[in-house]
Structure 1
Amino acid sequence: MATTAAAAAAAEMLPLKDRVAIVTGSSRGIGRAIALHLASLGAKLVVNYTSPGSSAQADAVAAEINSSSPGSAVSVRADVSDPAQVKSLFDAAEEAFGSPVHVLVNSAAVLDSKYPTIANTSVDDFDKTFSINARGAFLCCRESANRLKRGGGGRIVMLSSSLVAALKPNYGAYTASKAAVETMVKILAKELKGTGITANCVAPGPIATEMFFVGKTEEMINKVIQECPHSRLGETKDVAPLVGFLVTDAAEWINGQVVRVNGGYV
């Protein structure tokens, strides 16, 4: 009985023990915080990055995880807008840990820091936004639907944005790309019937990351802070625990949902 109790306690402390998780765009920002949090719950992590310039940051995240749990993380470069590279990302995860992937969290995204109106958005910038944010999410969803572990424990979480609810000017392409993701995930959850895999979106509000600050004036930042009931920007630590919960067994009954985490911003 003591052994059973100890095992139950260990499972509660490490609900993702030995489960393999891929977190795209996890060399920095929200993705980094999610990767570190999932590792703290016992998961084995694939830390994904896209640009060569992010290699050192991704390696640092993997090293931080491995410092407390050796052999629990690898960094893998892959562009989520490229189907071959998304496939290779899953291949690398399976090869590194000898197990099917249990969890996919898609945090990779781009935001046009010029903050143009729709009338002033170039076709190239629109295409770039949709290529990463919508096409990338689709490719990650498709690969996950075909390759995540069946029979329970399979979890898909797509990062969206509370802008889909707020509908602020100057974010037209970005918000539209995230609205597409939310719609796709709600349909995917139904299509995965019988697999034990859940699919949800987490939609943060303004979070103090490099992507949020780039291109914004102090006046723009202060306006966002004033609009939040807590009178502050969100932090990555406000988002990661929610994602962590959604990928555990305890969240099985949460499926096909969009959870907005924004401090009451919208």
Structure 2
Amino acid sequence: MPLPLTGKVALVTGASKGIGAAAVVELAKQGAQVVINFSSDPAPAEELVARIGANNALAVKADAGNVKEIERLVQTTVDRFGKIDVVVANAGIMIMRDLESTTEEDFDRMVGLNVKGPYFLVQKAAPHMAAGSHVILLSTSLTALSGVAPNYLLYMATKGAIDQMTRVLAKDLGRKGISVNAVAPGPTATELFFKGKSEQMLKGIASLNPHNRLGTPEDIAGTIAFLSGDASNWVNGQVLRVNGGAA
């Protein structure tokens, strides 16, 4: 019996570490050929290529917030594999800023990678995607939480945009038979999440989850893989919170 994603080509941004890396491993495990986008250090991406196999994986350096580099990333994918069936817009950053402390540079950097990047990635990839393809954006479970600290303002503004992008893109690309959904992780054990947090803080956050732990990148990757395959064909325009019941 063929694997669920056999014959599919998946492009994942921010894919050399954390959730992105776990996603490409899971997608490949389910049969997909994968493009592993990274922004700076090639070593983790090349390690993933070696792990998956060079016939089924390609590492591509590109700034996922720069439209010209996004175009090159998409074209490189099509040149190598001939098409795109799955887009996972995972690349993103979290700069903790409340209103008073936000600079224009902070705003432009966050919106550029977290909002502009996914927007134009989907725009450039869509012409190469057939009916039955899937777009998965990355949001956060914090958008459904009322007790959010003020210094999450800038980050939340970008993820709120992703939620609305998901809802409306599903109507737009749905006309072509392409599904658009978002995965909204809760606190997840990644390098990005650990940054700036003490051990005591991390334990406190984990204790708020009914499972008394943080999520893992693999927890999120399984949901991304589900949304990438035929089993999710009637799921469209949804923001799926994957947080173990934390929010």
Which TM-score band (shorter chain)? Answer: over 0.9
Residue number in structure 1 paired with 2:46: 59
Does 1:232 find its partner at 2:221? no
Shift of residue 257, structure 1, vs aligned partner: 0.3
Preserved CA contact (<8 Å) 2:97 2:154: no
Structure 1: any 5+ residue segments left out of the alignment? 1-8
Preserved CA contact (<8 Å) 1:80 1:139: no
Distance 2:164 2:131 in 1: 25
Does 1:119 find its partner at 2:74? no
Does 1:101 find its partner at 2:84? yes
Question: Percent of pairs identical after alignment?
Answer: 39
CA RMSD, aligned part only?
1.2
Distance 2:88 2:116 in 1: 15
What SS does the corresponding residue of 1:221 show, helix, strand or coil? helix
Q: Once structures 1 and 2 are overlaid, which stretch shifts more, 100-109 or 137-146? A: 137-146
Preserved CA contact (<8 Å) 1:82 1:136: yes
Q: 1:47 aligns with which of 36, 39, 44?
A: 36
Preserved CA contact (<8 Å) 2:13 2:37: yes
Does 1:221 find its partner at 2:205? no
1:48-76 per-residue CA deviation (whole Å, 9 max, x = no partner) reads 0012xx2111111111100xxx5000100
Distance 1:36 1:140 in 2: 21
Distance 2:161 2:36 in 1: 25
Paired amino acid for 1:151: A
Residue number in structure 2 paired with 1:162: 141
Residue number in structure 2 paired with 1:211: 192
Distance 2:29 2:239 in 1: 24
Shift of residue 223, structure 1, vs aligned partner: 2.2
Paired amino acid for 2:60: V
Distance 1:222 1:116 in 2: 23
Change (3 A) 1:132 1:41: same
Preserved CA contact (<8 Å) 1:81 1:132: yes
Preserved CA contact (<8 Å) 2:13 2:20: yes
Matches within 5 A, 1:52-201: 54-66=41-53, 70-97=54-81, 99-112=82-95, 115-148=96-129, 150-152=130-132, 154-167=133-146, 168-169=148-149, 170-201=151-182
TM-score by length of 1: 0.89
What SS does the corresponding residue of 1:242 show, helix, strand or coil? helix
Radius of gyration: which is bigger?
1
Shift of residue 116, structure 1, vs aligned partner: 3.3
TM-score by length of 2: 0.95
Preserved CA contact (<8 Å) 2:13 2:36: yes
Preserved CA contact (<8 Å) 2:78 2:128: no
Preserved CA contact (<8 Å) 1:164 1:176: no
Structure 2: any 5+ residue segments left out of the alignment? none
Shift of residue 185, structure 1, vs aligned partner: 1.4
Distance 2:141 2:58 in 1: 31
Shift of residue 217, structure 1, vs aligned partner: 1.8
Paired amino acid for 1:59: E
Shift of residue 219, structure 1, vs aligned partner: 3.0
What SS does the corresponding residue of 1:158 show, helix, strand or coil? strand
1:186-218 per-residue CA deviation (whole Å, 9 max, x = no partner) reads 101101233221000000000001000011122
